[in-house]
Amino acid sequence: MKKPFQLFICLLLVSGMLALSGCVDDTPATSDTPDTSNINQSELQNDILYQVSTIDALLEGLYDGQLSMGELKEQGDLGLGTFDALDGEMIVIDGEVYQMKTDGYAYSVDDSVTTPFAAVTYFETDEAIVLNGPSNSSEVALLVGESLPSKNLMYAIRIDGTFEHMKVRSVPAQEEPYPLLVDVIAVEQAVFELENVEGSIVGFWLPYYVEGINVPGYHFHFIDTDREKGGHVLDYTILNGTVYIDQTAGFELSLPESAEFMDVDLLRDKGDELHTVEKDDE
Amino acid sequence: MKKPFQLFICLLLVSGMLALSGCVDDTPATSDTPDTSNINQSELQNDILYQVSTIDALLEGLYDGQLSMGELKEQGDLGLGTFDALDGEMIVIDGEVYQMKTDGYAYSVDDSVTTPFAAVTYFETDEAIVLNGPSNSSEVALLVGESLPSKNLMYAIRIDGTFEHMKVRSVPAQEEPYPLLVDVIAVEQAVFELENVEGSIVGFWLPYYVEGINVPGYHFHFIDTDREKGGHVLDYTILNGTVYIDQTAGFELSLPESAEFMDVDLLRDKGDELHTVEKDDE
């Protein structure tokens, strides 16, 4: 802990939609209310985190696209992932998909482009935390972690703010035979350090029991407000901003039925590789 | 292996629906084709295994019902689970729910009854294996395991046949404060041995990565053809019958947002307890 928190914490918990007025003055540009008329309206299913394939399959080098952006965007308006052949980092924000390549820039993505691994949800703020004063990524992680109502549910998270420092990475498209993700990261990832940048962190906090399926704990991607630069978040310092949290009790997993997915050995222990791939160990 | 297999194996793999005629002569009484008009028709989502709560929450004694039978039956016509307060073993077959109590008998269940843990799917046969000649449960498990197209997908399984021997158990309704499931099994489970009974085994084979969420490997319940007797399967010998397998690439999890679920410690290692609860260790 480099310095004490200087945070004005504003916690708002609501059961459904939230009226942020009066407490948080910069609400995110919320997308249109999703059309849920064709979704079963059980109380247990109002919020669904949708995911294609598993993180362990991605670690094993299964980079062939399984689901199109057009289909993915039907499942949510906020999330992250990667693209066919591991061609960059994906961020989904306000219903738009951006591809953040190894040149550090963000590109719009055609609906026909596919993803081998992605997770999205229709984002609705359940809780907001205002951050005043500089905080590093560990401090924000601790603060948000303490504010999560339960470690047994899933949370989509969006952090809008001004970042004194933002360290992101991306990965280049691969050719078959695909190498393991840990080997791509070791040799080919491109790292960018952005300074004094406004933008949004987008991602999830997921419970331990998704191990093998997705990333337990935090997993964040970043894009700037101009939608020009971003990548997979390795580290950051935020000057001020707001953390928006969407508690999610529904989870939907679509497994590929490709020969590659059916044949891959998912039993190999990849815990260390996941840490290496997702975190900043410098 | 007590004796060699005397099996006529008939494997039929189809991508969608299956015409069993000419190969398997006793197809299961299939339920009506489910209405999927309100389900997103992505190729990746045609088959969905739906589950409420997690096996680890059940192991921790979270027995309060979360979802009604009426709601559960909207999610599938075949499956298993338990009832509010852990009041017996649930089997869902041909769209009907039966409650198998500690008297050994099966009872119809009102749509308003709730479940703390259940998993169902709309069953469509993708593969069928005819069993001719006696096989014990280990032999059938091995045979079915070898015939599964991949250890990375999920499978609903139904075995219709004549069982020389069927050993099942049930558990009685609990009162709060609820004991752990492993303690209920140790003290209160009722075991029944049925001889020369016709009926159906219903359940799932699930991949390792559902650990903490559901039961990796096999999990079966049984009910006889007259829908009079049954329970959680501990062991059996089948004289002849047919194994029907439904490959499922979609998984949907509904997590309770009750105070009990949000507060329970799901991090405690319960691997040994799961084995004790699910298996026959006599």
Contacts of B75 in chain A (CB under 8 A): 40
Residue B128 to chain A, least CA–CA distance (Å): 19
pLDDT digits (tens, 9 = 90+) for A231-268: 999 999 999 999 999 999 999 999 999 999 999 999 98
Triad A238, A244, A250: Cα angle to 5°: 135
- Residues from chain A that touch B57, judged by Cβ atoms under 8 A, are 152
Those residues with Cβ within 8 angstroms of residue A118's Cβ, 6 or more apart along the chain or in another chain: A51, A52, A67, A72, A79, A80, A81, A82, A90, A92
Mind listing the pLDDT tens digit for each residue in A109-131? 999 999 999 999 999 999 999 99
Predicted ipTM > 0.95: no
Smallest Cα distance from A61 to chain B, Å: 15
Q: Which of A44, A74, A153 sits opposite B40 (nearest CB)?
A: A74
pLDDT of residue A17: 31
CA proximity to B51, closest of B281, B248, B280: B248
Q: Are B253 and A249 in contact, with CB atoms under 8 Å apart?
A: no
Nearest to B73 by CA among B123, B125, B126: B123
Q: What is the DSSP letter of A267?
A: -
- Contact across the interface for A152 and B253, Cβ inside 8 Å: no
Which member of B45, B151, B266 has the closest CB to residue A152? B266
Q: For residue B172, give how far its alpha carbon lies from the nearest alpha carbon of chain A (Å).
A: 26
Between chain A and chain B, the number of residue pairs with CB atoms below 8 A apart is 121
Which residues have C-beta within 8 Å of that of residue A80, sequence separation ≥ 6? A89, A90, A91, A92, A118, A119, A202, A203, A204, A219, A220, A221
Mean pLDDT, range A92-116, rounded to an integer: 98
Q: Choose among B42, B247, B264: nearest Cβ to A152.
A: B264
Residues in chain A: 282
CB atoms A262 and B211 under 8 Å: no
Q: What is the pLDDT along chain B (282 residues), one digit of tens a residue?
A: 333 333 333 333 333 333 333 233 334 444 433 333 333 334 444 589 999 999 999 999 999 999 999 999 999 999 999 999 999 999 999 999 999 999 999 999 999 999 999 999 999 999 999 999 899 999 999 999 999 999 999 999 999 999 999 999 999 999 999 999 999 999 999 999 999 999 999 999 999 999 999 999 999 999 999 999 999 999 999 999 999 999 999 999 999 999 999 999 999 888 899 999 988 765
The β-bridge relationship of strands A48-52 and A250-254 is parallel
Query: Searching chain A, which residue's CA lies closest to the CA of residue B46?
Result: A254
Q: Report the SS3 class of residue B141.
A: helix
- Partner residue opposite A249 with nearest CB, options B71, B254, B264: B254
Which fold does the domain B46-278 belong to in CATH?
60s Ribosomal Protein L30; Chain: A; (3.30.1330)
- Which of A54, A254, A262 lies closest to B149 in CB terms? A262
Say if domain A44-278 classifies as CATH 3.30.1330.80: yes
Q: What is the per-residue pLDDT for A268?
A: 85
Q: What CA–CA distance (Å, rounded) separates A256 from A94?
A: 26
Q: Do A256 and B208 touch (CB under 8 A)?
A: no
How many whole angstroms separate alpha carbon B77 and alpha carbon A9? 47
Grade residue A282 by pLDDT with cuts at 50, 70 and 90: low
Find, in chain A, the residue whose alpha carbon is nearest to that of B251.
A253
Contacts of B154 in chain A (CB under 8 A): 255
Mutate: best of A15, A36, A39, A40, partner B, most B CBs <10 A: A40
Mutate to test the interface with A, among B152, B246, B269 (most CBs of A within 10 A): B152
| Domain residue ranges in chain B | 46-278
pLDDT at residue A42 above 50?
no
